[in-house]
Amino acid sequence: MKDGKCYADRMERMDLKAAIARPEAGPLLRLGLDLGPLLVYFVAYSLTGKNIYAATGIFMAATGAAMITSLVRFGRISPMQWFSSTMVLLLGGLTIWLHMDWLIKMKPTFYYLMVSGVLGFGLVTGKPTLKLALGTAYPGLNERGWMILSRNWALFFVAMAVANEFVWRHYSTDFWLGYKLWGAVPATMLFAVANVPMLMKYGLGESAIEAVCDGPPEE
């Protein structure tokens, strides 16, 4: 029993050292991993003669490459990146297989609503789920701050889901892709910045503002 306890203690210390030594992604690299595949999608669509199915395949490959980069460089893939990437690979694959481009166009809607639902569940239960995904990025933020932040992002994602549905149903694929890159992404960043005063009020340190301004990963 004693030997087993000693072994467990050693393993715990090794895990702690590994976590401490694990490198963190800088803001530019985080932005590249989150938004790089979307930029590739936009470019691929233009270079393939506006072939949404070929561009979707390239988008899936870029998404997979971003996941591998995260795993190799930092030893992990964030929960939100796992979730978003899985949806890209699943709905992208169905889009190509069934030849139904509306599936990939609805992917942002599914993402926004599911994330909003998860955040809403945390609000109802009094346990902000956003803290599980981003807790280490927002040091010092108290529970009240996490609850308000979760509420704000839950409402924002519902609004973004409605906006995505309106755009893809009423405008061309060209316009929809442009909206994703030049509309949805800046809106997400601006919303993240708009939350900074509230976060500082509820305990966030100034050293974490850079991470806050990155915001949650774009879909």
Angle at 182 between CA 160 and CA 114, to 5 degrees: 25
Q: Look up tokens 């569940």; give the residue.
A: 121
The residue among 167, 215, 165 whose CA lies nearest residue 189 is: 215
Contact 149, 141 (CB under 8 A): yes
pLDDT for the residue numbered 166: 98
Query: pLDDT tens for residues 101-135?
Result: 999 999 999 999 999 999 999 999 988 888 877 75
Q: Look up tokens 């889901």; give the residue.
A: 161
Query: pLDDT tens for residues 26-79?
Result: 555 666 777 889 899 999 999 999 999 999 999 999 999 998 988 888 788 877
Contact 76, 22 (CB under 8 A): yes
Contact 73, 23 (CB under 8 A): yes
Q: What is the pTM of this model?
A: 0.79
